[in-house]
Amino acid sequence: MLLALDIGNSDVVLGIWDKQKWIHVWRIPTRPNQPELFYGIKIKDYFFEANLSLNHVDKIVLSSVVPDLTDKLRNVIAVLFGKESIVLGPDVYQKLAIKVLNPYEIGSDLVSNAIAAYDYYQNTCIVVDFGTALTFTTLSSKGEILGVSIVPGLKTAIKSLTQNTAKLFDVPLAMPASALGTSTITAIQSGILFGYSGLVQSMVGEIRSEIKENCPAIATGGLSSIITPLNDFFDQVEPNLTLNGLRIVGETVSER
């Protein structure tokens, strides 16, 4: 089995691949100040509850955009599984089928998304990742990452709005029935969710116009299904795209 870890700003996502499918996907809140023991116990508990043996994992691949957690999780993995993890970064990029723009600047999660998207389409495509940040990653038909666009994610936008406005408060991320908010809650939901629907469509349209190609767009991230008006806009919605990229990295690195 392969264990993939995607260390993001909001969650650490863990996936178990059994050579055919993801049999388990777990989330641990990202807490850089927690000791290694916190993460070690969480991972052991997940394996115990799933009736899985730690010894059955023969490959571990890790992506991290939280530097303070990278070494902690690497140490936890080494202790629990007795194996070193493959850390997706510039040294690994050289062994992959895609070409990475600014390898020391781009987030490894975006690279993982690009790997999985290009493996699927083998052509020009746009990856829209609904995470802590909302990102747009564009690949060429040759597998080159042409560029990335970043805006605050849905939760980040709501948090920024409510924390900096005295009379507003946190609201659930749920699509309202109307763009016309009739309460504080539905007003915020309407502005953020319908607004981001337009933002996403506009950005994808602008990218397609600039590269002069009506290429497919694929959505991923934990919040990718929240904005229901976009359900028919994307060519594909794949919540586990980042994990799929890490799986491909594990298979590629093991073969070369």
Residues labelled as active-site residues: 109
State phi, psi for 143 to the nearest 5 degrees: 80, 20
Q: Give the CA angle between residues 206, 211, 217 to the nearest 5°.
A: 65
Spatial contact of 18 and 73, defined as CB atoms under 8 Å apart? no
Residue with tokens 């089928």: 97
Any long-range contacts for 93-98 (C-beta under 8 Å, 24+ apart)? 95/252, 95/253, 95/256, 96/249, 96/252, 97/143, 97/252, 98/139, 98/143, 98/144, 98/145
**In this structure, what token pair is assigned to residue 188?**
């915020």
3-class secondary structure, 133: strand
Give the Cα separation of 131 and 239 in Å (integer).
11
